[in-house]
Structures are given as structure tokens and as C-alpha cells.
Amino acid sequence: MEKERTLVLIKPDAVAKCLAGHVITDLYNLKLKMIAMKLVNVKKELAEKHYESLRDKPFFEKLIKHLTGELHGKENVIAIVYEGENAVKKIRDAAGKTHPEEADFTSIRGKYGRVDSRTDCFENVIHASDSRENAEKEIKLWFKK
């Protein structure tokens, strides 16, 4: 079977709470290979491109503020590429549902996420690509030469 790659972003809420180590340990258990990793100071343009498909959503502006770290003390994002069989599904399953309170409590979002009642921000810890095709697009965007 052809190797599959996927993009994980440890979002600013998780980096600000020092959760990156926990998240990486949880993902390590999936037995995928980490093939790239970097710390990114996310600019508005990159965040908007990443979430382009959600531009019409009422929460879009807040989502951009979340990813650029504006809601979490200008914290950075940790971008990681994992490779391995069924990498996309394995990581989506480990992440859990989008809304942290609906996510299984054993999932990454269920364990470490919350909704901030002041901002309504889904502090859902990580982004994980949702398909092989989107993973390739996102990896190109985040790991431009």
C-alpha cells in the first residue's frame, strides 16, 4: 500500500497550555512516522488560506484569530507531517470530534480541549487533515520551500 501523509497542527491554545508533549505522545502511539516538524508564527494570510473553505462561516474571523495566536498571547503553531498506512484516518480518529465537548473523552480534543465561554473559541487542540487530497494541499501550504 502506498504511503499516506497527513498534516497535524498543534494549535496556539495547546501550545500556550504546554500540551504539545502530551499530544505528540498520544500520536506516537499510532505508530506513524514523523517526517517533518516546525514552529510557525502564523500570519493572517496563511491562516486564511488554510481555512479558505470556511470563509463564509460566521466563526471565520475568530477562527483566524485562533490560528494566528491572537486569542492565546501570540503563541505559535507546531506543524507536523506524519506518514504511514491510513495516516489521515488514524489521526482524525485520535483527534476526536470538532467540538471538544462532543469529542470522546479519550480523544485528544476530548481530553485537552474546551470551549472558551468568553470568546466561543473551540480550543480543540489540533488540526488534522480530513482526506489524502487535502493533506497533500495542506502540506504544500505549510511546508513551502
Start-to-end Cα distance in the chain: 28
C-alpha cell at position 139: 502540506
Instruction: Give CA–CA dist 128/95, Å, rounded.
Output: 7
Nearer to ligand IDP, 116 or 145 (CB): 116
Which 39-68 positions form the footprint of ligand IDP (CB under 6 A)?
54, 59, 63
Conformation bin of residue 7: beta by default, left when phi > 0, alpha when psi is -120 to 50: beta
Closest to Mg ion by CB, 31 or 87: 87
Q: Which three cell numbers stand for residue 130?
A: 480530513
x-or-dash pattern for Mg ion, window 102-141, by CB under 5 A? ----------------------------x-----------
Q: Are 123 and 73 in contact (CB under 8 A)?
A: no
Task: Give which of ligand IDP, Mg ion, none residue 107 binds (C-beta under 5 to 8 Å, depending on kind).
Answer: none
In the range 86-105, which residues lie near ligand IDP by CB under 6 A? 98
Asked if 124 touches ligand IDP (CB under 6 A), the answer is: yes
